[in-house]
Amino acid sequence: MIFMVFLSILGFFLLYVLPFLWGIKYSLSRSGFDNTFVGLQNYIEVVKSDTFRLAIKNTVTFMGIAIPLIMLVSFILALAIYELKPPKFVYLFILLPIAVPSTSVSGFFRKLVGTGAGNLMDSDYAMLVVIMIFIWKNTGYNLIIYLAGLLQIDPSLIEASQIDGASYFQRLRHILMPLCTPSAVFVGIVSVINSFKVFRDVYILQGKYPNPQIYMLQHYMNNKFKSLEYEKLTAAAYIFAAIIFTFALLLFYKDRKYGKKVGER
């Protein structure tokens, strides 16, 4: 057992921690082929870049809309399943998009909204299409997490609230939602991770230089990688990692805050 844990820690260090630390060295060097220390010059150049600003703006816009929306949609669907207990085939339709490959998803949406007179991918509404793809593909996974959290709630709490005359919305607000906060935090983190994967669908649909409305940070880093500008790539990655780390800390803070409230009650 101890040996297996050691191997896991070793693998995590070699595959994640070491590359992360090595990337910092790249971000502070003149280039990937010149180790001359240049301080924060690469970070300053990245921040001043119009391309990076466009990429970070679109990425933050996408995450700011798509993640709260998918968390809400997933919770509503999970709550409906928890309350109504529909037939098993309903679960299949909701979970099926998880198993569909990105090429098939992109091909379907290309036919639906990417060609002819209704081509939204080349319009100002392209971001809405990307959000729709993200929600359609990832709702089922989030729903499972929410449903697991709902099923762990002690039924006696619901019964006691009903005896006390609490309405459904009062039970939802004061019992179900607070007790699902840990699930919501986990769903938020998973949604952030899955939001990076939407790049595959956008890349398949429009390549490495898509509609400026959906030019994401992943496009920027992918293009810098292909042009061998590793110092710009790593600097951009660490800037965005700092944003994501701040977001994760905020989620954990909310979880702890609600946990204290539930404990006091």
Could you report the per-residue pLDDT of 180-211, keeping only the tens digit for each?
A: 888 888 898 888 888 888 888 888 888 888 88
Instruction: Quick: pLDDT tens for 207-256.
Output: 888 889 889 888 898 888 888 888 888 888 888 888 888 877 887 777 77
Backbone angles phi and psi of 102, in degrees to 5:
-60, -35
Residues 6+ apart with CB under 8 A from 28: 37, 38, 39, 40, 42
Cβ-in-10-Å burial (0-12, 13-18, 19+) of 113 comes to buried
Residues 6+ apart with CB under 8 A from 262: 178, 179, 181
- HEC per residue, 221-234: HHHHHHCCCHHHHH
Distance CA 209, CA 196 (A): 17
Residue extents of the structural domains in the chain: 1-39, 50-264
Indicate if the pLDDT at residue 115 is higher than 90. no
Confidence of residue 261 (pLDDT cuts 50, 70, 90): low
For residues 56-77, average pLDDT: 91
- E strands along the chain, which residues? 29-31, 34-37
Which one is predicted more confidently, 118 or 142?
A: 142
Tokens describing residue 200: 């595959």
Tokens describing residue 11: 């693998």
Contact 220, 51 (CB under 8 A): yes
Indicate if the pLDDT at residue 100 is higher than 70. yes
Instruction: Quick: pLDDT tens for 3-61.
Output: 777 888 888 888 888 888 888 888 888 887 778 888 889 999 998 989 999 998 999 89
Average pLDDT score, the chain: 84
Rounded to whole angstroms, what are the CA distances from 27 to 5, 45, 77, 228, 246?
32, 11, 43, 13, 20
CATH number of the structural domain 50-264: 1.10.3720.10
Q: Express as a percent the part of the chain with pLDDT over 90.
A: 11
Rounded to whole angstroms, what are the CA distances from 164 to 153, 178, 262?
18, 19, 18
- Per-residue confidence (pLDDT) for residue 259, from 0 to 100: 62
Instruction: Quick: pLDDT tens for 156-182.
Output: 888 888 888 888 888 888 888 888 888
Indicate if the pLDDT at residue 70 is higher than 90. yes
Contact 44, 245 (CB under 8 A): no
Distance CA 184, CA 75 (A): 8
